[in-house]
Structure 1
Amino acid sequence: MSEDKVKGPASYFPSIEKTYGRPISHWKEIVRAALPARHMELVALLKQQHGLGHGHANAIVAHTLAEDGK
């Protein structure tokens, strides 16, 4: 039997939580508070104001927007 692996943006979540010391819910709140900003504006916000790397910021934004149907 093969083990189900987390795929897509959520696959970054354990690394994000370990690297930045905050739960994913914290980052999603920041993204949602900045809406209706566009995807790359949200990525830039996380990078510039919170010090996240591009891949981590992009994963959070993509997952949050998909979760909210945006």
Structure 2
Amino acid sequence: MTESVKGPAGYFPSIEKKYGRSIAEWKNLIHTSPLTKHMELVGWLKAEHGLGHGHANALVAHTLAEMSR
């Protein structure tokens, strides 16, 4: 029996499928962006890269959480 992924990472398979980029690529974009605030990054991913709000939010939340460890 496999356990389902919980939290923001649960969106990752559908993000990769829908937008054609790996999660590593999205994280790299977030890391290299001059923006640092959560909602600024979400807005940027939506406006510049066409992501939906939930997908952008999941990527930003996961990436910023990793950065704060």
Structure-2-length-normalised TM-score: 0.92
Number of the residue aligned with 1:48: 47
Give CA-to-partner distance per residue, 1:4-35, whole Å, 9 cap, x none. Answer: 21000000000000000110011101111115
The Cα RMSD (Å) is: 1.4
Residues 7, 35 of structure 1: alpha-carbon distance in 2 compared, 3 angstrom cutoff: farther
For structure 2, list consecutive stretches of 5 or more residues without a partner in the other structure: none
Sequence identity (%):
61
Structure-1-length-normalised TM-score: 0.90
- Does residue 4 (structure 1) correspond to residue 9 (structure 2)? The answer is no
**Structure 1: distance between partners of 2:3 and 2:58:** 20
Number of the residue aligned with 1:29: 28
The list of structure 1 runs, each at least 4 consecutive aligned residues, that deviate by more than 2 angstroms after superposition, is none
Read off the aligned partner of 2:15 and give its amino acid letter: I
Question: How many positions carry a matched residue from both structures?
Answer: 69
Shift of 1:64: 0.2
For structure 1, list consecutive stretches of 5 or more residues without a partner in the other structure: none
